[in-house]
Amino acid sequence: MADNAGMQQGSPAIGAAGLVPAAPGAGGTEGSGAAGGSARIAVKKAQLRSSPRPKKLEKLGVYSSCKAEGACKCNGWKSQNPPPTPPRTDQQSSAVNLQEPCRSCSHTLGDHVTHLENISEEEMNRLLGIVLDVEYLYTCVHKEEDADTKQVYFSLFKLLRKSIVQMGKPMLEAQDSPPFEKPSIEQGVNNFVQYKFSHLPSKERQTIMELAKMFLNQINYWQLETPSQRRQRVLNDDAAGYKANYTRWLCYCNVPQFCDSLPRYETTQIFGRTLLRSVFTVMRKQLLEQARQEKDKLPPEKRTLILTHFPKFLSMLEEEVYSHSSPIWSQDFLAGASGGQIPIRPGNALADRPSELTSDSGEKRKPTEPLPHEDSKRPRVVGDIPLELINEVMATITDPAAIPETSLLSAHSARDEAARLEERRGVIEFHVIGNSLNQKPNKRILMWLVGLQNVFSHQLPRMPKEYITRLVFDPKHKTLSLIKDGRVIGGICFRMFPSQGFTEIVFCAVTSNEQVKGYGTHLMNHLKEYHIKHEILNFLTYADEYAIGYFKKQGFSKDIKVPKAKYVGYIKDYEGATLMGCELNPSIPYTEFSVIIKKQKEIIKKLIERKQAQIRKVYPGLSCFKEGVRQIPIESIPGIRKKELKDPDQLYSTLKTILQHVKSHQNAWPFMEPVKKTEAPGYYQVIRFPMDLKTMSERLKSRYYTTRKLFMADMQRIFTNCREYNPPESEYYKCANLLEKFFYTKIKEAGLIEK
């Protein structure tokens, strides 16, 4: 591409209406960009359609081979008074004469268009449309300086010419036809919205959908950079892959925007993640830059959307676009029973993920919660609450995210709620940053690193300043930094040891006037999520004696789960500090954990209320005492059920005996302890409510089984889980059947259920 006068790679201009795509354009052709090309051709086509028939025949004759008798080889009529090259439609020749001889073969114009005599006006207009597209492409071929683009224009030019001669439909003879990748960009972005935002109240979700639409619209009008421009910008790229996609994009998306005789497809519908990856970074940068430049022109209702939400939306999407295992690109990202798509797990809100400014793009964790639609297939255990009921209740509870902020910050709210809210509003940001020897230093990151060094030095006065500086700037260390108003107010500096399966937390601090506001907790939650994503599930740290309380509240304990051999020699030893560890559970979305718990409590409360409403029955008061009766057996009070009054000690000892029998049974061995993840891959993704005899013994000991129903439900869960996870021919499955039979015999013998 010569000077980019026409085709400017990149943004189609935000426009005062707010990220409204500008008109399409092809590569470097007419003056102010080929954007105007589409409109100009449309005008010309309209003019030509209203021309007299001989004029139309003249136009078509130029592209039609001579039909005169004999072997005339002339492949197009040429006027004696040729118009400038290329032929122009607005060239008004006074009168068209079908008898006018061809400058080339001397046969008349009529001899060239005999095949068109009986065709309908509609077909004639269609062919003329192709003619104008051919002429436009002819200009493009001549003006274009980029070799790859020129070649594509020329191929399309030939294709369209051929289709005029053959009076056929222009069909691209590409080896592969659209769609070129699945899922499409549109589907992926759709999945992203479902994956990350489906938990939001509908109004917020609406906003997100608007952002997604806006983004997709931008891609559909995005001008891709030419393969040679890209080669200069990106080294070590899959150049051949990009060129193939660029060619497809020109043929199916870009050129058809102005040459409408070619079938047109939307970029977002026929391309997938590969193309998105090759444009995303540049596109994001340019869109944000334009938004900033045009911020004053934006209509007020679009300002917040574009200036506040759009950048966060793009950051989150970027993470999914470049992640190797994001579920949004999976063909199995399922559509829910209701027809719409369903989330795989509750996602984070707009700003709930730290972005990474260093180069390492990590693996995203896989969805861990079972898909809701699977519930219907799950075997039921006595006491299970029907999914429909839970859904109904969920629909009635107020989404915690929709609760006014003031009530969120009540005395009962979780420690990190205020911080989470601030993050959502964009008041604070989290970034994992680090010094890099491979990349050019980024000024902003360097400033943040200096800020972190200051916070750590002030908050950890016993640490030598030089030591802090050394570690903060050491490329092997990273720091999750907390930014407020562009300034660093806290952070956690850490070093990952993936081969050893743990990360050492080296420094952790929040600046004095921002402490005890929940930032420390939210920082740690982000750090946990970051590590789950990078598949490191253990933290170790030497906690300062004053910080032991804080670490305990974040789930750390002095009981270290990492084997000593794994960390001795790796982790730094600090005098006077206590080694503490924390094991992460990859199923927990830590930054959302307290919201989820809150929601669950709300659901349980509602379920209890419903149950109470069902069973509530008001009995008349007892009158017997007025009549002189002094004492009655408690079971005789109406409404009190005998079974529930069973002596708790008696129930306990009965259950203990049964459990003992079950544990001693020869088929009980697979169920003695919780299933080990290492022995049963994916077990905890399939089995939502694990249960085992050891857990049951602990529950019994702690007097959890206040009714036989609770006990039986747990036992039943063991058998149901086993049959769900294992195939019927497996030994485990058979053990479950036999032990179940035995269990029910024992229960009957004990009189807990009828024989």
- The Cβ of residue 575 has, within 10 Å, a number of other Cβ atoms equal to 6
519 binds ligand ACO (CB under 6 A): yes
> How far is the C-alpha of 394 from the C-alpha of 589, rounded, in Å?
19
Contact with ligand ACO (CB under 6 A) among 152, 509, 595, 713: 509
**Ligand-binding site membership of 663 (annotated):** no
**Ligand-binding site membership of 521 (annotated):** yes
Catalytic residue among 504, 529, 592, 740: 504
Query: Nearest approach, Cβ of 550 to ligand ACO (angstroms)?
Result: 4
According to CB under 6 A, which residues from 388 to 447 bind ligand ACO? 415
465 binds ligand ACO (CB under 6 A): no
CA distances from 174 to 120, 159, 558 (A): 30, 11, 65
**Which CB sits closer to ligand ACO, 279 or 489?**
489
**Ligand-binding site membership of 520 (annotated):** yes
What SS3 class is residue 441?
Answer: coil
* Residue 504 designated active-site: yes
How many angstroms from the chain centroid is the CA of residue 450?
33
Q: Before 690, cis peptide (omega within 30)?
A: no
Query: Nearest approach, Cβ of 532 to ligand ACO (angstroms)?
Result: 20
Two tokens, residue 365: 């964790």
> How far is the C-alpha of 245 from the C-alpha of 241, rounded, in Å?
6
Contact with ligand ACO (CB under 6 A) among 259, 505, 540, 722: 505
CA distances from 34 to 9, 257, 664 (A): 12, 10, 82
Query: Nearest approach, Cβ of 452 to ligand ACO (angstroms)?
Result: 12
One-letter amino acid of 527 = L
How many angstroms from the chain centroid is the CA of residue 692?
36
262 binds ligand ACO (CB under 6 A): no
Contact with ligand ACO (CB under 6 A) among 27, 33, 400, 518: 518
What are the φ and ψ backbone dihedral angles of 165, each rounded to 5 degrees?
Answer: -60, -45
Contact with ligand ACO (CB under 6 A) among 311, 520, 589, 670: 520
Query: Nearest approach, Cβ of 630 to ligand ACO (angstroms)?
Result: 52
One-letter amino acid of 545 = E
567 binds ligand ACO (CB under 6 A): no
According to CB under 6 A, which residues from 703 to 732 bind ligand ACO? none
**Which CB sits closer to ligand ACO, 127 or 505?**
505
How many angstroms from the chain centroid is the CA of residue 171?
36
**Ligand-binding site membership of 548 (annotated):** yes
**Which CB sits closer to ligand ACO, 242 or 551?**
551
459 binds ligand ACO (CB under 6 A): yes
517 binds ligand ACO (CB under 6 A): yes
**Which CB sits closer to ligand ACO, 282 or 510?**
510
Site string for ligand ACO, 531-550 (x = CB under 6 A): ----------xxxx-xx-xx
Query: Nearest approach, Cβ of 447 to ligand ACO (angstroms)?
Result: 20
Two tokens, residue 499: 């081969």
> How far is the C-alpha of 515 from the C-alpha of 658, rounded, in Å?
53
What SS3 class is residue 108?
Answer: strand
Query: Nearest approach, Cβ of 241 to ligand ACO (angstroms)?
Result: 46
**Ligand-binding site membership of 705 (annotated):** no
Query: Nearest approach, Cβ of 412 to ligand ACO (angstroms)?
Result: 12
- From 561, 556, 562, 555, select the one nearest 577 (Cα to Cα): 556
> How far is the C-alpha of 20 from the C-alpha of 314, rounded, in Å?
17
Number of H helices, E strands in the chain: 28, 7
**Which CB sits closer to ligand ACO, 208 or 505?**
505
Two tokens, residue 75: 């492949």
| Beta-bridge partners for 496 | 503
Q: Which residues are catalytic?
A: 504
Give residues in contact with ligand ACO (CB under 6 A). 415, 459-460, 505, 507-510, 515-521, 541-544, 546-547, 549-550, 553
Q: Which residue numbers belong to the known binding site for acetyl-CoA? A: 508-510, 515-521, 546-549
